[in-house]
């Protein structure tokens, strides 16, 4: 595992400041005590968290059941409705008229557009939306797809589904019609909630149009509900399509919450894997809610006075756990922003922080690197003195970006929580606690109490300090994904088929990591065929299958190359079918036109996030004698121009020589 040794060694440590620790929920002694309590009896520890943090309609008597591992259950005989914990319970407290959501829209031509929903108002809107969905026949167990911009209705829609016990599946607004179609079909959704369009960098994204295109081949969808956000023209199919406002008009502000068993699927969220087809990651209600509430409380040190700003989209797991559910479970004020951070200017996020007095900011390393590149003058124009805590998620943060975030945004005052987790883990697994843990730039530090995240060698032995290996989770955890929707065997094989400790399968994260002398974790990145582009997971196989679906393409292989801003960039090696308009031996200028056609094709098939940064045409791909594409060689060529590693298994060495020569021509 060469890559593991090359990770930058960073030795600076930042102990929590005294001013922060004095007020923090947990200091170093408190953290040790929590670890000790959790280790004594992890299952009892989680049962206590579940009882304390959530409202239960029927208290549970069972906690963890591993008898069908890796299919596990938590709190299985308990019943609850998570929206009662997020909304109803705050209504009888001082939080009744406190802001739950503060939303700011992207366009500013007519002044700043914002909406504030108190807990009382959010509860009312969720109930009205749930009642409206009920009139369409939506009920417990149905799957509802949500494809919306970052507007309050997105959060309302998520919670309205949960209110009825309908399983929501949010699709990020940047995905294409084809991606919607695949997900709607896979989930067997009967209802789609969307908007006419959404704003992104001043442009209108035609969301309803994408849905219409997708639904040509989704006969199972009976109803589409459309929020009017941008006011563009949309075609409405009689009997199927309804405007959100019309449907909610006259609906009662009371809607009984349907109590569901703790294991009831709260949501399905699709994520990329090592094969072409995205996986529907299934999350439970009780276990998911418990760990999300627990981590929100401790990692963000969340308190009533906070204005918590998370820049993620609700279309990703971060937005599910740390916008829609976590902060509301604690009655916090959540600040959300609709648009791009550089619209209309590069100081937009800092302006938002200043305008609403954000106290906590949670964002991604790729964003931090962009802010750094845009220059200090943007944050310097704004008063950021309200901030007290900063967080990052999505990919390893390079120490330079960490230090910039600490100095320029946190002004040396705010601890940084570098949180490691995944769509599949549902909630944060590894992170410092801001009042307790000394941080090191680039390390997500240590697993939280109750969680067992370890680094092991391929043979299942544990890595010693200073060694690198594979990141695994060696004990079930409450917010663990329960299965892959419709494909339990894929769940077992993907996550529990590769790594074993003492012969027992353990969950493999797909990440490589190094353990340092203090037992801190340094996640290096994926070791499988999944790339992390700007904090988003993209399976190379998914992009490859999009490429080969173009009639001119014979074969394609996609690899990652390091990218200063995005972490990784996508490089595609493509062979064209004989006789297609653009041949691989055509001059580069002609190939560029072909490359643009293929890029557009990938955007159409998946969405702009999967757009290849570079497309290289080649006559053949390097393969082993058994016909397997040697991606390692392609990676080396993409990164450095030539393949340096072992090529003895390569079938035709000339292929490699041609690829390397092509690279130096381009230089």
**214 lies in the site for ligand PRX, by CB under 6 A:** no
Beta bridge partners of 389: 360
Q: At what angle do helices 286-299 and 42-53 cross, to 10 degrees?
A: 90
**C-alpha to C-alpha distance for 393 and 231, rounded to whole angstroms:** 34
Gyration radius of the chain over CA positions: 25
Long-range (24+ apart) CB contacts under 8 A made by 33-40 are: 34/449, 35/449, 37/449, 38/449, 38/450, 39/449
492 class by beta-carbon count within 10 Å (0-12 exposed, 13-18 middle, 19+ buried): middle
Q: Considering CB under 6 A, how many residues would be counted as binding ligand PRX?
A: 22
Q: How far is the CB of 541 from ligand PRX (least distance, A)?
A: 16
Q: Name the closest residue to ligand PRX (Cβ).
A: 423
**C-alpha to C-alpha distance for 387 and 406, rounded to whole angstroms:** 11
User: Residue 260 or 471: which CB sits closer to ligand PRX?
Assistant: 471
User: Residue 84 or 418: which CB sits closer to ligand PRX?
Assistant: 418
Q: How far is the CB of 601 from ligand PRX (least distance, A)?
A: 24
Q: How far is the CB of 1 from ligand PRX (least distance, A)?
A: 15
Helix runs in 13-118, H state only: 18-23, 28-40, 42-53, 82-83, 89-91
**C-alpha to C-alpha distance for 482 and 203, rounded to whole angstroms:** 38
**454 lies in the site for ligand PRX, by CB under 6 A:** no
**Residue from 95, 223, 537, 599 that binds ligand PRX (CB under 6 A)?**
537
**542 lies in the site for ligand PRX, by CB under 6 A:** no
**Residue from 156, 401, 416, 523 that binds ligand PRX (CB under 6 A)?**
523
**199 lies in the site for ligand PRX, by CB under 6 A:** no
**394 lies in the site for ligand PRX, by CB under 6 A:** yes
Q: Mark residues 297-336: x for contact with ligand PRX by CB under 6 A, - for none.
A: --------------------xx------------------
**420 lies in the site for ligand PRX, by CB under 6 A:** yes
Q: Mark residues 570-599: x for contact with ligand PRX by CB under 6 A, - for none.
A: ------------------------------
From 230-238, 342-350, 391-399, 447-455, span contacting ligand PRX (CB under 6 A) = 391-399
φ, ψ (nearest 5 deg) of residue 195: -135, 165
User: Residue 103 or 421: which CB sits closer to ligand PRX?
Assistant: 421
User: Residue 320 or 330: which CB sits closer to ligand PRX?
Assistant: 320
From 131-139, 495-503, 505-513, 618-626, span contacting ligand PRX (CB under 6 A) = 505-513
**525 lies in the site for ligand PRX, by CB under 6 A:** yes
**434 lies in the site for ligand PRX, by CB under 6 A:** no
**Residue from 46, 270, 325, 421 that binds ligand PRX (CB under 6 A)?**
421
Long-range (24+ apart) CB contacts under 8 A made by 74-77 are: 74/46, 74/50, 74/262, 74/263, 74/284, 74/286, 74/287, 74/290, 74/476, 74/478, 75/47, 75/50, 75/262, 75/263, 75/286, 75/287, 75/290, 75/478, 76/261, 76/262, 76/263, 77/261, 77/262
Q: Which residues from 93-152 bind ligand PRX, rule CB under 6 A?
A: none
User: Residue 63 or 366: which CB sits closer to ligand PRX?
Assistant: 366
Of 392, 388, 486, nearest to 432 by C-alpha is: 392
Whether the link from the prior residue into 282 is cis, omega within 30° of 0, is no
**422 lies in the site for ligand PRX, by CB under 6 A:** yes
**C-alpha to C-alpha distance for 528 and 273, rounded to whole angstroms:** 9
* All residues at 6 or more sequence positions from 236 whose CB lies less than 8 Å from its CB, including other chains: 226, 243
Which tokens sit at 123? 């509860």
**494 lies in the site for ligand PRX, by CB under 6 A:** no
User: Residue 155 or 317: which CB sits closer to ligand PRX?
Assistant: 317
Q: Mark residues 222-261: x for contact with ligand PRX by CB under 6 A, - for none.
A: ----------------------------------------
User: Residue 319 or 622: which CB sits closer to ligand PRX?
Assistant: 319
Q: How far is the CB of 535 from ligand PRX (least distance, A)?
A: 7
**Residue from 511, 529, 542, 605 that binds ligand PRX (CB under 6 A)?**
511
From 78-86, 149-157, 415-423, 599-607, span contacting ligand PRX (CB under 6 A) = 415-423
User: Residue 85 or 271: which CB sits closer to ligand PRX?
Assistant: 271
Which tokens sit at 52? 């304390």
**C-alpha to C-alpha distance for 472 and 495, rounded to whole angstroms:** 10
**444 lies in the site for ligand PRX, by CB under 6 A:** yes
User: Residue 290 or 425: which CB sits closer to ligand PRX?
Assistant: 425
**526 lies in the site for ligand PRX, by CB under 6 A:** yes
Q: How far apart are the first and last CA of the chain?
A: 29
Of 258, 261, 257, 256, nearest to 58 by C-alpha is: 261
Beta-sheet pairing, 279-283 with 307-310: unpaired
- Number of Cα atoms under 13 Å in the Cβ half of residue 40: 8
**Residue from 261, 315, 468, 510 that binds ligand PRX (CB under 6 A)?**
510
**206 lies in the site for ligand PRX, by CB under 6 A:** no
Ramachandran category for residue 516: left, alpha or beta (phi over 0 → left; psi -120 to 50 → alpha)? beta
Kind and range of the H or E run holding 658: helix 653-666
Which tokens sit at 159? 């919670």
Task: Give the interface with ligand PRX as residue ranges (CB under 6 A).
Answer: 271, 317-318, 393-396, 418-423, 444, 509-511, 523, 525-526, 532, 537
């Amino acid at each position: 595992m060469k890559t593991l040794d090359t990770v930058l060694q960073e030795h600076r440590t930042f102990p929590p400041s005294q001013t922060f620790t004095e007020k923090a929920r947990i200091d170093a002694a408190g953290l040790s005590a929590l670890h000790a309590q959790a280790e004594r009896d992890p299952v009892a520890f989680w049962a206590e968290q579940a009882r304390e943090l959530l409202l239960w309609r029927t208290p549970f008597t069972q906690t963890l059941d591993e008898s069908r591992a890796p299919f596990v259950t938590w709190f299985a005989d308990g019943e609850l409705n998570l929206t009662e914990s997020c909304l109803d319970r705050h209504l009888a407290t001082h939080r009744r008229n406190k802001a739950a959501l503060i939303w700011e829209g992207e366009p500013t031509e007519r002044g700043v557009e914002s909406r504030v929903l108190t807990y009382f108002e959010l509860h009312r809107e969720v109930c009205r939306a749930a009642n409206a969905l009920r009139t369409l026949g939506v009920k417990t167990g149905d799957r509802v797809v949500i494809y919306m911009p970052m507007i309050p209705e997105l959060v309302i829609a998520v919670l309205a589904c949960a209110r009825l016990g309908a399983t929501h599946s949010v699709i990020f607004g940047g995905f294409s019609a084809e991606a919607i179609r695949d997900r709607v079909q896979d989930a067997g959704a009967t209802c789609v909630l969307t908007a006419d369009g959404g704003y992104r960098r001043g442009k209108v994204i035609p969301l309803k149009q994408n849905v219409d295109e997708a639904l040509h081949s989704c006969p199972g969808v009976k109803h589409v509900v459309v929020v009017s956000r941008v006011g563009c023209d949309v075609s409405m199919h009689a009997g199927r399509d309804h405007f959100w406002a019309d449907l909610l008009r006259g609906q009662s502000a009371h809607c009984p919450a349907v109590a569901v068993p703790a294991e009831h699927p709260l949501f399905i969220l699709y994520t990329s894997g090592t094969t072409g087809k995205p996986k529907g990651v299934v999350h439970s209600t009780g276990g998911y809610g418990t760990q999300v509430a627990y981590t929100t409380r401790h990692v963000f040190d969340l308190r009533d006075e906070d204005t918590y700003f998370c820049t993620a989209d609700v279309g990703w797991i971060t937005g599910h756990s740390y916008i829609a559910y976590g902060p509301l479970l604690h009655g916090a004020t959540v600040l959300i922003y609709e648009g791009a951070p550089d619209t209309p200017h590069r100081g937009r996020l800092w302006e938002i922080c200043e305008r609403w007095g954000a106290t906590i900011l949670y964002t991604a390393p790729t964003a931090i690197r962009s802010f750094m590149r845009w220059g200090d003058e943007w944050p310097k124009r704004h008063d950021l003195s309200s901030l007290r805590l900063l967080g990052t998620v999505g990919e390893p943060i390079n120490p330079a970006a960490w230090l910039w975030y600490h100095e320029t945004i946190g002004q040396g005052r705010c601890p940084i929580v570098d949180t490691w987790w995944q769509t599949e883990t549902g909630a944060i697994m590894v992170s410092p606690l801001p009042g307790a843990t000394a941080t090191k730039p680039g390390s997500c530090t240590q697993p939280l109490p109750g969680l067992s995240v370890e680094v092991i060698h391929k043979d299942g032995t544990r890595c010693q300090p200073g060694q690198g290996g594979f990141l695994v989770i060696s004990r079930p955890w409450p917010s663990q994904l329960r299965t892959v929707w419709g494909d339990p065997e894929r769940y077992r094989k993907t996550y529990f088929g590769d790594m074993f400790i003492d012969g027992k399968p353990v969950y493999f994260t797909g990440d490589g990591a190094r353990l340092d002398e203090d037992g801190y974790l340094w996640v290096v990145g994926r070791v499988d065929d999944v790339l992390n582009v700007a904090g988003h997971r993209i399976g190379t196989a998914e992009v490859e299958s999009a490429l080969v679906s173009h009639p001119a393409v014979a074969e394609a292989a996609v690899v990652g190359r390091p990218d200063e801003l995005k972490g990784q960039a996508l490089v595609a090696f493509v062979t064209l079918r004989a006789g297609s308009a653009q041949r691989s031996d055509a001059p580069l200028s002609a190939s560029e036109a072909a490359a643009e056609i293929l890029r557009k094709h990938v955007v159409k098939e998946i969405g702009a996030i999967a757009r290849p940064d570079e497309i290289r045409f080649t006559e053949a791909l390097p393969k082993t004698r058994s016909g397997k594409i040697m991606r390692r060689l392609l990676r080396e060529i993409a990164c450095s121009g030539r393949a340096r590693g072992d090529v003895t298994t390569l079938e035709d060495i000339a292929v490699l020589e041609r690829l390397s020569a092509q690279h130096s021509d381009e230089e």
